[in-house]
Amino acid sequence: MRKITLSNGKTVEVECLSCALTSGLIEPDGGVVYESEFFHAHQDVAYPIKGLIILASKRHIKCFDELTEVEKLDYIKILSRIRQAQREVLGIEYVYYFYNEDTTHHFHTWMVPRYEWMYEFGRSVESIRPVLLHARNEMNNKESIKEVMEAINSLTKELNSCY
């Protein structure tokens, strides 16, 4: 078991944070943005970046080659649907995708939108960590949190509308 401190200050003990989230044991701040039979999407509010979405599998697996055929199709479908919603609702031009198999949680892909202010931290993979740290340490204020919550609501609405 691992102790995890949530953004609301509560501490929970879980085997795997992703399992706790995808099973509904822990409700992510801002709620579930989108959910299918196999995947679960939410914003990681620890990093107040509008439209930063975590797409996690529901099964406790770690590696890409553990996905079943039907999960693979579902994954690419949801990933591109979220991507489209980021563009249409939030005007996000570019997204960085990050996914590590040696995670302490389970299979989850980060979709990190690219904003103008991020370029001072460089480009491509080298900029990801400083960008996330900057967001967590310098942008953790009422104003950005409010913007992030509004973005979550718009994305959730868009992704769950019939089309």
Please report whether residue 18 would count as binding Zn ion according to CB under 5 A.
yes
Q: How many residues bind Zn ion (CB under 5 A)?
A: 5
* Identified binder of Zn ion from the candidate list 16, 67, 89, 145, rule CB under 5 A: 16
Q: Mind giving me the DSSP string for 54-122?
A: EEEESS---SGGGS-HHHHHHHHHHHHHHHHHHHHHH----EEEE--TT-SS-SEEEEEE--GGGGGG-
Contact range with Zn ion by CB under 5 A, out of 16-24, 65-73, 143-151, 153-161: 16-24
Residues 105-124 that bind Zn ion (CB under 5 A): 106
- At 133, phi and psi to the nearest 5? -65, -40
Q: Which is nearer to Zn ion, 7 or 103 (CB)?
A: 103
Token reading at 18: 């992703």
Least Cβ distance, residue 106 to Zn ion (angstroms): 4
**Site mask, Zn ion, residues 133-162, x = CB under 5 A?**
------------------------------
Token reading at 44: 């990681």
**Site mask, Zn ion, residues 55-84, x = CB under 5 A?**
-----x------------------------
Least Cβ distance, residue 23 to Zn ion (angstroms): 9
The region that residue 29 occupies, defined by phi over 0 for left and psi between -120 and 50 for alpha, beta otherwise, is beta
Least Cβ distance, residue 103 to Zn ion (angstroms): 9
State the sign of the Cα–Cα–Cα–Cα dihedral 18, 23, 26, 31.
positive
Chain residues in the site for Zn ion (CB under 5 A): 16, 18-19, 60, 106
